[in-house]
Structure 1
Amino acid sequence: MAGPGSWWGRKSTPAKVETYTRWSFHFIALSEPTVVGVTAFGHMEARFALLVMAPVTAHVALAMVTASRALDWTVGRRPQPLRLLWALGAATAVVAVAAVALGRHGPGGAAEDTGTVLGSVFGATLCYGVGLTALGLKDRRRVVWLVLGFGTGAGLVAWAVGMPGLAALATAAFVTAASGFFAATSAFSIWLLNAVYALDEARETRTRLAVAEERLRFGRDLHDVMGRNLAVIALKSELAVQLARRERPEAVEQMIEVQRIAQESQREVREVVRGYRRADLEAELHGARGVLRAAGIDCEVGGETGGLPAEVQSALGWVVREATTNVLRHGDAKKCTVTVRRPEGRVVLTVRNDGATAPHGSSRTGGTGLAGLRERLSAVGGTLDAGEAGEGEYRLVAEVPLTARPALEVVS
């Protein structure tokens, strides 16, 4: 049975950042009733404290819904929640003004205690409301005007209900600074979330470019195989036609040569398509490092590859190629290491990568790619072991004896 961590492990990096950002703002919103509740139940009777908490709780619920919809808009899942933004702004203003107005009458106990509670409602509602409203604004100048507007309004309301001018000014400064801090936090969080998604999209683009480059390389190989042979076939066929028209016996020899070149071309194309063309291990290691780094994966290659038999290099070269493909396609790797060791009488190639949320092929038996590698290695007396190595790491180990017997060519 999958553990609780599997839900988190299956998420991509941008999805993890989005989940973290979303729940961070939910917890920030929930801290508003916590702050007000501690003050209210500490300074007022329970029934009056509950009355104070009712509008605060409603304000928090509206703020959480607005924040969630604003984040959906940020990542392109919903339109901008303009109605919710206006509703949250209006609710913030209404609750804050009502708290200041009721503070002058002091219901539910001593006026000083009541003023303290309603003052906390006033400050918390404004600061949290403005900060969470900023999530739904893309233009940062509007965020600045939002903060300044609510800060100025807080000072004017405080002065209007009888607060001294200096105290009203201090109130405006406090609301502006605190709400500005929350708004800046919201703006930075949105910027960071967008940056993570942009980086992930760029990484996918680099991966596609790397795959396209590999396809171009395959196309060049096929062109190299067929280009010269087809040109020779065309020339010899034309020569055979001319000789046949002159009834020269050499025409038969030319057509026999055309037949031989065509058969040779068929064999070479089969080798390219089926992958039985020899692969140079050093070239494959260099290519794997370039492809993985282009995909944003840190790749380290170590070990000595010089002097290996051609059969060993070819078999291990295909292991490197398949392992590189697996790292690109599976999991969420950030680092990959490829090492070549040469214990006595054998060569051991090890590929390790992190971010293995699921095995490459779902088991040590593996999929068709790993099955094909086992066939290649068994042809030279080698073995392959692949699977999770713990803590999100995937490991592939190929071992080939240095006295590898030549691989048998597979024909259709």
Structure 2
Amino acid sequence: MREPGRWWRRKSTPAKVETYTRWSFHFFGVVEVLVVGLPAVGGPEPRLGGPLLAMVCAHAALCMVTVSRALDWTRGRRKQPVHLLWVLGAVSAVIAVGALAAVEHGPAGSDDVGTAAGAVFGTVLILGAGIITLGLGDRRHVFSVVIAFATGAGLVPLLLGAPVTAAAVTSLVVLLGAGFVAFTAALSVWLLNAVYELDEARENRARLAVAEERLRFARDLHDVMGRNLTVLALKSELAVQLAQRGRPEAVDQMTEVQRLAHEAQREVREVVRGYREADLTAEIVGAQGVLRAAGIACTITGSPAGLPASAQSALGWVMREAATNVLRHGDARRCTVELKVTEGRVVLSVENDGVRGETGGRGTGSGLAGLRERLTGIGGTLEAGPAGEESFRLTAEVPLPRKAEPPAAAARQASRPVQGAAS
């Protein structure tokens, strides 16, 4: 069985904000039924209370549907619900007028009926105007809707014979209430879009980092291979022409071609070797800076000083992949990096909170599979999985060569914290 709240923890931060926004506006409909609709049933006139409750429930349901359609439109998932907005406006006006008609046709002198109908009148207009603004993208249209509802709220009672003062007060109440709901709707949509844009920017930053590294590698290969291949082509053409003429210099040219080919092969290997090797110190510092820029508190314990180059290169790739996973998979608020030397092995552990699901989407990724293959080649291991209810831990162990194993003093230094917490 799923644990309570698992569906919520698996959501990303933008999805959580969207869910909270959506259900907050749905709750307005629930409040409308509980505060305005149900008290009308318990009044002195059950014949009028039932119709009032039915109208309030219908209006609340229509508001909830409009909220869902309008928020989907703001996120670009469907077209603007123009027809639904008009329907909500018309239904709000009809229900408001119907509530006033109930007062006119109700028992004379019944203050309770008038109070209940007045509450329905004002609440329907306020929520109707506010919910409609969720589906409007132009600020001028928002102002127009609020002012139109407030004006109608004052004109209708005035036409039915209400005093001017009462009509003015009703209009002012609807103006303030609808304006508040409209402001809340506009602010909620703005915050929701901002959260999605920030999350998209974080994803783009990770993709740009990968693209930049690919461009660097491509540029290095072009610089190395471009000149060599050009020279090889020229030397080969010259050798062909000399061979066709029966000149003995063709052998010298082909020997030069062979030498250049071996040199090009050596340079390519150096480029690839430099690309594959990662400096653990640089990766730790870089990960700390990137996580801090993303608002993730990062605590680093231990130092790679004294570790052999092979161990630093392998663990540097682990650190790079771990930092990328923290940024891309989950909603982390803290990250702990621990590096220690124990019993001839170097252990690097990266733990973060805010995982999505059981493994945060990282249990079987291709990046982790590649790291396992890389560490297996040097006798190391890699473990990744949940470390608690909402935590994920990645642990890599690399053996130390006996001849390069640091002394006890260096081992103690490697286990001391050299960098503080960065928030």
Partner SS state of residue 390, structure 1: coil
User: Which runs of structure 2 are paired with 1:207-356 in the superposition (5 Å)?
Assistant: 207-223=206-222, 226=225, 230=229, 245-247=247-249, 254-255=256-257, 257-258=259-260, 260-265=262-267, 267-268=269-270, 271=273, 277-289=276-288, 296=294, 298=296, 300=298, 302=300, 303-343=302-342, 345-356=344-355
* CA distance, structure 1, for counterparts of residue 124 and residue 250 of structure 2: 103
Q: Which moved more, 1:298-307 or 1:195-204?
A: 298-307
- Superposed counterparts of 1:42-57, under 5 Å: 42-57=42-57
The CA distance in 2 between the partners of 1:120 and 1:13, in whole Å, is: 38
Q: Does residue 87 of structure 2 align to residue 87 of structure 1? A: yes
Cα deviation, residue 353, structure 1: 2.7
For residues 160 and 41 of structure 1, the distance between their equivalents in structure 2, rounded to whole angstroms, comes to: 27
- Separation in 2 of the partners of 1:261 and 1:192? 58
Aligned-partner Cα distance in 2 for 1:81–1:226: 58
Kindly state the Cα deviation for residue 28 of structure 1 after the two structures are TM-superposed.
0.6
Moved more, 345-354 or 321-330: 321-330
- Gaps of at least 5 residues in structure 1 are 407-412
For the residue of structure 1 that corresponds to 2:395, the secondary structure is strand
Question: For residues 202 and 317 of structure 1, what CA distance do their matches in structure 2 show?
Answer: 25
* Alpha-carbon distance in 2 for matches of 1:224, 1:5: 55
Partner of 2:121: 122
Q: Which amino acid aligns with 1:207?
A: A
The count of aligned residue pairs is 399
The alignment's TM-score, normalised by the length of structure 1, stands at 0.83
Partners in 2 of 1:35 and 1:328 — Cα distance?
Answer: 45
In the TM superposition, what whole-angstrom CA distance separates every residue of 1:6-55 from its partner, at most 9, and x where no partner exists? 43334333222222222221121121121123421332243432122122
| 1:284 to 1:29, Cα distance in 2 relative to 1, 3 A | same
2:375 to 353, 368, 377: 377
Deviation at 1:228, TM superposition (A): 6.4
Partners of 1:165 and 1:329 in 2: CA distance = 61
TM-score where L is the length of structure 2: 0.81
1:174 aligned residue: 173
Paired with 2:95 and 2:140, the residues of 1 have a C-alpha distance of 25
Q: Match for residue 30 of structure 2?
A: 30
**How many angstroms does 1:299 deviate by?**
6.6
Between 1:316-325 and 1:179-188, the stretch displaced more is 316-325
**How far has the Cα of 1:236 moved from its partner?**
7.0
Aligned identity (percent) is 59
RMSD: 3.4
Question: What is the match of residue 106 of structure 2?
Answer: 106
Pairwise CA distance, 1:309: 1.2
Compute the displacement of 1:242 (Å): 9.7
Q: Give the whole-Å Cα distance in 1 for the aligned partners of 2:321 and 2:170.
A: 65
The verdict on how the C-alpha distance between 1:261 and 1:111 changes in structure 2, with shifts beyond 3 A counting, is same
Q: Quick check: 225-234 or 84-93, which moved more?
A: 225-234
Q: Which residue in 2 is equivalent to 1:194? A: 193
The question of whether the paired residues in 2 share the 8 Å contact of 1:311 and 1:405 is answered with: no
- Structure 1 letter corresponding to 2:39: T
Q: Which amino acid aligns with 2:259?
A: E
Give me the whole-angstrom Cα distance separating, in 2, the residues matched to 1:309 and 1:238: 47
Task: Say if 1:321 and 1:31 are closer, same or farther in 2 by CA, change over 3 A.
Answer: same
Alignment partners' CA distance in 2, 1:70 and 1:193 = 13
Tell me the SS of whatever aligns to 2:137.
coil
Deviates most, 245-254 or 78-87: 245-254
* Counterparts of 1:312 and 1:283, CA distance in 2: 14
Q: What are structure 2's unaligned runs of at least 5 residues? A: 405-423
Q: Which residue of 2 aligns with 1:58?
A: 58
* Corresponding position of 1:410: none
Q: Which residue of 1 aligns with 2:420?
A: none
Q: 2-side partners of 1:397 and 1:184: how far apart?
A: 49
Cross-structure match for 2:145: 146
Residue 16 of structure 2 is matched in structure 1 by 16
| Higher normalized contact order (CA 8 Å, seq sep 6+, divided by chain length) | 2
